[in-house]
């Protein structure tokens, strides 16, 4: 069978997000596709702080260790996701008031988790989503309690605890000019402190008809000028309307009874599948144009049925954002993406 990892093997890594059911090899159809198509994986949820550190002195590495073993067995590079993020924090952390305790959590979490996987994972998303849309630092518990330098400090600790892993900053919308400028300033600050940062991940959650191609191209150029890898780390192209673009949408409702916001519950029309395929092909043409700068492209899920976009920002919708359909069959987008590799 044609495979993504095969056709792009001289260009960039091809990854997917995975979850427990695939690691435990209970989901044989996913398992088969992962082995056939990908050479990199990112845990969609199981390395997040709330799962990996459920209590002050309690770490739960079981699932994540299984993932690392599964990846090793199947020649998949692991991008560990993530060390420091304001979301999905352990419950004991969420409303912590005292700065010393926040610092203690911050230092211990990075030291313990990064050290546990040193030499076992290829890379870490050290800090995830630290920026606001205007490029300033998000007012997270870390910014509030630890101050402006916490991002640099996170990289410094990770570098020491995990010297053999690559260290990345990961965020969404950082292809947008203002937020991109904030990311560039942050990366320069880390470097100026003499701390290692190896790459930047542009998440890539876009709508199929609104992919910001010019901003993406500009971002690849500007980020790679900093001497770091550029990656697309959570790629998916939603085909559903966004509630914020639609004044009459009821976001609190489930999709049932809200047909306008869930138009393809009975299947994706071929015309939309073709437009999505074109959008994916345009993106991959661009990635290939900059293959010296782009080191990895990771899809956020294996197939449409498993995507987080079926549940966000409205629950219970039927979305089709990936290259494989609910029956694990390649979609038009898959064939168009493969064709880009053959056209250059």
Query: Applying CB under 6 A, which residues contact ligand G3I?
Result: 44-45, 48, 88, 128, 203, 234, 308
Least distance (Å) from ligand G3I to the CB of residue 157?
21
Nearer to ligand G3I, 92 or 308 (CB): 308
Name the burial class of residue 174, with classes exposed (0-12), middle (13-18) and buried (19+) by CB atoms within 10 angstroms of its CB.
Answer: buried
Nearer to ligand G3I, 88 or 343 (CB): 88
Least distance (Å) from ligand G3I to the CB of residue 269?
26
Rounded to whole angstroms, the Cα distance separating 38 from 303 reads: 13
Least distance (Å) from ligand G3I to the CB of residue 271?
27
Least distance (Å) from ligand G3I to the CB of residue 112?
20
Out of 44, 129, 175, 234, which one is annotated catalytic?
A: 234
Nearer to ligand G3I, 128 or 176 (CB): 128
User: Is 133 designated active site?
Assistant: no
Nearest to 37 by CA among 280, 324, 332, 339: 324
User: In the beta sheet, which residues pair with residue 170?
Assistant: 128, 201
Nearer to ligand G3I, 75 or 254 (CB): 254
Least distance (Å) from ligand G3I to the CB of residue 298?
11
Nearer to ligand G3I, 31 or 234 (CB): 234
Beta strand 166-171 with 77-84: parallel, antiparallel or unpaired? unpaired
Name the burial class of residue 285, with classes exposed (0-12), middle (13-18) and buried (19+) by CB atoms within 10 angstroms of its CB.
Answer: middle
Rounded to whole angstroms, the Cα distance separating 2 from 67 reads: 25
| H/E element, 83 | strand 77-84
Nearer to ligand G3I, 27 or 234 (CB): 234
Do residues 213 and 244 touch, judged by C-beta distance below 8 A?
no
Nearer to ligand G3I, 321 or 332 (CB): 321
Name the burial class of residue 93, with classes exposed (0-12), middle (13-18) and buried (19+) by CB atoms within 10 angstroms of its CB.
Answer: middle
Residues 9, 14, 17: CA angle, nearest 5 degrees: 160
| Three-state DSSP state, 93 | helix
Nearest to 13 by CA among 227, 304, 299, 342: 299
User: In the beta sheet, which residues pair with residue 236?
Assistant: 205
Least distance (Å) from ligand G3I to the CB of residue 128?
6
Least distance (Å) from ligand G3I to the CB of residue 324?
16
Which residue sits closest to ligand G3I, CB atoms considered? 308
H helices of 193-331, in order, are 213-225, 270-289
Provide the 10 A C-beta neighbour count for residue 279. 21
Active site residues: 234
């Amino acid at each position: 069978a044609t495979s993504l990892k095969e056709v792009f093997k001289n260009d960039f890594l091809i990854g997917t997000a995975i979850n427990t059911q695939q690691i435990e090899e209970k989901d044989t159809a996913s398992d088969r596709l992962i082995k056939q198509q990908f050479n990199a994986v990112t845990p969609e949820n199981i390395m997040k702080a709330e799962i990996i550190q459920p209590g002050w002195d309690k770490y739960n590495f079981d699932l994540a260790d299984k993932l690392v073993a599964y990846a090793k067995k199947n020649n998949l590079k692991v991008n560990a996701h993530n060390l420091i993020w304001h979301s999905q924090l352990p419950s004991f952390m969420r409303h912590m008031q005292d700065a010393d305790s926040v610092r203690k959590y911050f230092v211990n979490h990075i030291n313990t988790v990064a050290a546990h996987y040193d030499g076992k994972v290829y890379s870490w998303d050290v800090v995830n989503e630290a920026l606001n849309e205007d490029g300033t630092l998000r007012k997270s518990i870390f910014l509030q309690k630890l101050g402006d330098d916490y991002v640099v400090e996170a990289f410094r600790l990770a570098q020491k605890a995990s010297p053999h892993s690559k260290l990345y900053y990961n965020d969404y919308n950082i292809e947008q000019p203002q937020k991109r400028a904030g990311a560039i300033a942050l990366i320069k600050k880390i470097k100026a402190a003499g701390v290692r940062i190896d790459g930047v991940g542009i998440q890539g959650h876009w709508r199929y008809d609104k992919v910001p191609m010019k901003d993406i191209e500009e971002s690849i150029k500007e980020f790679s000028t900093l001497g770091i890898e550029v990656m697309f780390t959570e790629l998916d192209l939603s085909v559903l309307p966004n509630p914020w673009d639609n004044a009459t949408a009821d976001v609190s409702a489930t999709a049932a009874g809200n047909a306008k916001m869930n138009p393809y519950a009975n299947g994706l029309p071929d015309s939309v599948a073709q437009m999505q395929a074109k959008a994916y092909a345009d993106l991959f043409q661009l990635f290939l144009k900059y293959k010296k700068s782009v080191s990895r492209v990771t899809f956020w899920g294996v197939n449409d049925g498993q995507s987080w976009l079926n549940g966000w920002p409205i629950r219970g919708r039927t979305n089709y954002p990936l290259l494989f359909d609910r029956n694990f069959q390649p979609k038009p987008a898959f064939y168009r993406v493969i064709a880009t590799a053959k056209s250059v």
